Amino acid sequence: PDTIRRLDYQPPAWLVPDIALEFDLGIELTKVRATLTVRQNPDAARDQTLHLCGDNLAAMDLLVDGNPAEGWSMSGSNLLLPLPGDAHEVTIETHLHPATNSQLMGLYASNGMLCTQCEAEGFRRIMFFPDRPDVLSRYTVRMKGDRGAFPILLSNGDMTASGEDEDGTHWAEWTDPWPKPSYLFALVAGDLVARRDGFTTMGGRKVDLAVWVRPGDEDRTEHAMRSLINSMKWDEEVFGREYDLDTFNIVAVSDFNMGAMENKGLNIFNTRYILADPDTATDGDFDAVEGVVGHEYFHNWSGNRVTCRDWFQLSLKEGFTVLRDQMFSADMGSEAVKRIEDVRILRAAQFPEDSGPLAHPIRPDSYQEISNFYTATVYNKGAEVIRMMRTMAGPEKFRQGSDLYFQRHDGEAATCEDFVKAMEDGAGLDLSQFRLWYEQAGTPRVNVAMTHDAGSGKVTLEVKQQVPATPGQPVKKPMPIPLKIALFDRGTGTHDGERTLQITKASETFTFGGFAQPPVLSANRGFSAPIQLETEASDADLTFLAASDDDSFARYEALQQLFTRELLGATDSGPNEPRRAAIAEAMGAVIDDTAIDDMMRGELLMLPAINFLIELAAPADPVALHEARERLKAYLGTRLRGRLTALHDRASTVAYSLDAASRGARKVKTQALILLAAADRAETARRAEAQYRAADNMTDRQGALAVMSGLDVPARGELLADFHARYADNALVIDKWFAIQASALRSDVLDAVETLAGHEDFTMKNPNRVRALYMTMAGNPFAFHDASGRGYRMIADLVLKLDPINPQTAARFVPWLGRWRKIEPVRAAMMREQLSRIAAARSLSKDVREQVTKSLD
């Protein structure tokens, strides 16, 4: 397979300033005619052949300047067209079959509607084109179709004309004045209804807003619309970014490979990130809608107005936009809780990637299939890297850097280097060494050792860092790390101010005076750098920080470290009684502490996930870790039973609303049930059943059902059946029904998954459904790491079966098997065996082939 390399970049020989597209729409057959104005790129080496990418296309008609093209040829699936001069008009016709497009890339059918997905390389499945992000064109789109089947016709930009024909068809013309790369092209045609609203920008532009959904879903779009308006306002206030068209459309589709897509003026969303009401969506779902609506909207500047030169620069738009959506959600809710959630995601998804066979820098050096690089590294670590720049510069200077970046590169296809340079110039930072964060993969391990000299009152911190070897990068340089610390006085429980240490070397020391007693070190406060931190803190120090740290992240982290120590130690030598008691006391204090709100209390009561512990324990026995975790839950549930039941009782009296107090109450209710269930199954089952039956919202109902689903009690089956019957018509809730059962910590969970795969509601064609069942199972260590190896086999079977249908989605399951190096040898051998079985398949997509080959290395 071809490997594309970052350093081989060449500018395009031909530019396409304008493209006019005509669509004659049909579910079975859509005809597309494109007229491209092409001209030689003065900044590139001259080439008299126009290279047009195609994927699964045939040119039904091909004209140059109005005459049949001569001398053209196919090179694989691409079209090569010799052109004699500097500027030409090229016309091409293609025929598409949306109904059979199960890959969901290009133009496809979903529930009777037509829609597109072009990022990263989907446009070439619609039209022959230089399908690369540094070719920017002005698009005019005219589409016609049956009025009954496609009453709504949408594309990018603003609608400039429309009309009806006598044969029952109608047409619309959309014009997007902003030059854009082909990956931002979009078209939607179908029977849709809109929630409409408006927004007036800071410059006075009146923008018509619409959220389009299938008839019947419109009542569940209020939160998405509110989130959109909040995003537009927030981007003006915080980043000075204003919207630039008269129309902003969002369309929700139920068959979608990812979360959403930021097409210019016409965002297309997975229904999962649009539809929400209290009866069908949890508080977490509401947050996800807000975050993803914000994310896609923010791309209008970080991605669309300034786009990427090539796909190696993906983090330029994705890392920056994730940081922007994280800041937005923090401002809309609780900054402290949002930070903890974001770090939890980073640790669960990105740390394993960074320490495994698929590790890559946030700006990768090579790829075979770009879809495999829409990763937690590019997105979430990319956001952390830009967050560090913000930490080093401070918010005001960071804003100056961001302003300069947008001003310098508006209308361009830029690079990560352009962003870093703008930050250097605009924010006044020296980022020469910092560029390593774009080059080196791997999570730095930082060790901080503290010594105290009673005579001089001096405290010395010796900081050592090491960046682990990753594929293709055996030797690493030391990273620049902004490490926020505070030194606490044990007696008063206060500190003398937060400091940011700028670490630049493999080993260095920092000294501070004025400490009569050894202080307690609070380090990496606010998770100021995406590192694995090791300190020599005693259990007593951690207990102190868990109770007293004024940085909420550090407080959470101290508790997590106590849990982690206990869980990792317990798999070798059983529980550590004093530590367990200290944890119970710290948890009791968290329950009682009236100074923290329930949203934060809910976070503090959560034990670390097994998939995070596997990272630290390597080589891990996941089931032994699971058992240790269950034992600790049972211990805490027993020790804290009175307080947890009181907490559950108190929270159960709070009425439903979307405000923080009410959401916090729901969060602690489920956390209390989780701990109590491990201690007293029968009593907790009664409590959970009561919560389920009394629920007037999905958060309570799903939380209770998830707890019930892990228990062996008669009501379990009854409630699962009730849930299914109650929501039989709602695909997103039926996804929950599948996921709840696949996440159960029960010995028969794999039988259940197998049965569910044969359920009439299960389909391989809908990525949400596949993920609900199989991604949840792969993420459930108790199921996936079943000692028989059956979990591994089931995921390999899925990959092989799904690959011919939807290779992109299939490839996303491979990394679970690729984590074999972290797992004890017997299971690791079985995981490898399944990877080899996939690799041996006669025909594999490029997507799966790349992931499997790299995972076996």
Residues known to be catalytic = 296
* C-alpha span between 313 and 378 (Å, rounded): 9
Among 134, 318, 598, 689, binds ligand HT7 (CB under 6 A): 318
Distance CA 605, CA 505 (A): 37
**Nearest distance in Å: CB 457, ligand HT7:** 51
First-last CA distance in the chain: 16
Phi-psi region of 104 (alpha: psi -120 to 50; beta: other; left: phi over 0): left
The residue number whose beta carbon is nearest to ligand HT7 equals 258
Type of residue numbered 411: G
Q: Does 310 bind ligand HT7 (CB under 6 A)?
A: no
Buried b (16+ CB within 10 A) or exposed e, 723-750: beeebeebbbbbbbbbbbbbbbbbeebb
Choose the one of ligand HT7, Zn ion, none that binds residue 792, judging by a C-beta under 5 to 8 angstroms depending on kind: none
Q: Please choose, out of 254-262, 478-486, 649-657, 798-806, the segment that lies near ligand HT7 by the rule CB under 6 A.
A: 254-262
CA distance 122 to 76: 17
Q: How far is the CB of 607 from ligand HT7 (least distance, A)?
A: 30
Cβ of residue 368: shortest distance to ligand HT7, in angstroms? Answer: 15
Q: How many C-alpha atoms does 517 have within 13 Å on its Cβ side?
A: 10
Shortest CB 129 distance to Zn ion, Å:
22
In one-letter notation, the amino acid at residue 770 is V
Q: What is the DSSP string of 558-618?
A: HHHHHHHHHHHHHHHH---HHHHHHHHHHHHHHHH-TTS-HHHHHHHTPPPPHHHHHHHHS
Residues ≥6 apart with Cβ < 8 Å to 475: 469
Number of residues that bind Zn ion (CB under 5 A): 2
Among residues 311, 468, 300, 469, the alpha carbon closest in space to that of 375 is found at: 311
Q: Which is nearer to Zn ion, 318 or 597 (CB)?
A: 318
Inter-helix orientation angle 610-617/622-639, to 10° = 120
Q: Give dist(CA 23, CA 9) in Å, integer.
A: 33
Residue 258 touches which of Zn ion, ligand HT7, none (Cβ within 5-8 Å per kind): ligand HT7
Pick between residue 308 and residue 558 the one whose CB is nearest to Zn ion. Answer: 308
Please, which residue, 271 or 321, has the CB nearer to Zn ion? 321
Cis peptide bond prior to 739, omega within 30° of 0: no
Told to check if 700 binds ligand HT7 by CB under 6 A, we report no
Comparing CB distances to Zn ion, the nearer of 318 and 621 is 318
Q: What is the contact mask toward Zn ion in residues 264 to 303, using x (rule: CB under 5 A)?
A: ----------------------------------------
* Start-end of H helices in 594-659: 598-604, 610-617, 622-639, 641-652
296 near ligand HT7, judged by CB under 6 A = yes
From residue 321 to residue 360, the character string flagging contacts with ligand HT7 as x (rule: CB under 6 A) and all else as - is ----------------------------------------
Only segment of 196-204, 291-299, 652-660, 703-711 that touches ligand HT7 (CB under 6 A): 291-299
235 binds ligand HT7 (CB under 6 A): no
Pairing verdict, β 73-75 and 67-68:
unpaired
Coil/strand/helix, residue 181 = coil
Which residue, 137 or 267, is less far from ligand HT7 as judged by CB? 267
Q: Burial of 215 by CB count in 10 Å (0-12 exposed, 13-18 middle, 19+ buried)?
A: exposed
Provide the 10 A C-beta neighbour count for residue 721.
11
Which residue of 257, 524, 743, 766 would you call a contact of ligand HT7, by CB under 6 A? Answer: 257
Number of neighbours of residue 587 by Cβ within 10 angstroms = 23
d(Cα 847, Cα 516) in Å, to the nearest integer? 60
Residue number, 671 or 808, with CB nearest to ligand HT7: 808
Beta bridge partners of 79: 52, 74
User: What is the closest distance, in whole angstroms, from the C-beta atom of residue 469 to ligand HT7 in the complex?
Assistant: 29
Q: Is the Cβ of residue 257 or residue 280 nearer to ligand HT7 in the bound state?
A: 257
* Residue 131 binds ligand HT7, judged by CB under 6 A: no
Binding mask 106-125 for ligand HT7 (x = CB under 6 A): -----------x-xx-----
Question: With binding defined as CB under 6 A, does residue 261 bind ligand HT7?
Answer: yes
Which residues lie closer than 8 Å to 406 by C-beta, 6 or more apart? 241, 301, 305, 306
Q: Are 232 and 243 in contact (CB under 8 A)?
A: yes
Provide the mask over 314-333, with x wherever binding to Zn ion is found by CB under 5 A and - wherever it is not: ----x--x------------
Which residues, 789 to 828, sit near ligand HT7 by CB under 6 A? 808
Which of the listed partners (Zn ion, ligand HT7, none) does 371 bind, with a CB threshold of 5 to 8 Å by partner kind? ligand HT7
Residue with Cβ nearer Zn ion (283 or 325): 325
The full length of the chain comes to 857
The letter for the amino acid at 494 is T
Task: Choose from Zn ion, ligand HT7, none: what does 261 bind? Cβ within 5-8 Å by kind.
Answer: ligand HT7
Pick between residue 59 and residue 293 the one whose CB is nearest to ligand HT7.
Answer: 293
The closest of 747, 745, 752, 723 to 735, measured between CA atoms, is 723
CB of 304 to Zn ion, least distance (A): 11
Determine the interface stretch with ligand HT7 among 198-206, 258-266, 450-458, 778-786 (rule: CB under 6 A): 258-266
CA dihedral sign of residues 280, 283, 284, 287 = positive
Report which secondary-structure segment, H or E, holds 175: strand 169-180
Sign of CA dihedral 172, 176, 182, 186: negative
Among 262, 283, 418, 735, binds ligand HT7 (CB under 6 A): 262
In the complex with Zn ion, the residue whose CB is nearer, 285 or 318, is 318
**Closest by CA position to 146, among listed 25, 281, 317:** 25
Interface size with ligand HT7, residues (CB under 6 A): 15
| Alpha-carbon separation of residue 33 from 93, 127, 182 (angstroms) | 4, 8, 15
**Strand-pair partners of 523:** 485
371 binds ligand HT7 (CB under 6 A): yes
Q: How far is the CB of 301 from ligand HT7 (least distance, A)?
A: 13
To ligand HT7, the closest distance from the beta carbon of 759 in angstroms equals: 27
- Compute the least distance from the CB of residue 812 to ligand HT7, in Å: 10
Stretch near Zn ion under the rule CB under 5 A, chosen from 51-59, 310-318, 661-669, 725-733: 310-318
Rounded to a whole number of angstroms, the minimum distance from the CB of residue 121 to Zn ion is 16
Residue reference for tokens 């939160």: 223
Name the residue nearer to Zn ion (CB basis): 320 or 813: 320
Binding window for ligand HT7 (CB under 6 A); candidates: 93-101, 292-300, 348-356, 672-680: 292-300
Which residues in this chain contact ligand HT7 in the complex, by CB under 6 A? 117, 119-120, 257-258, 260-262, 295-296, 299, 318, 371, 374, 808
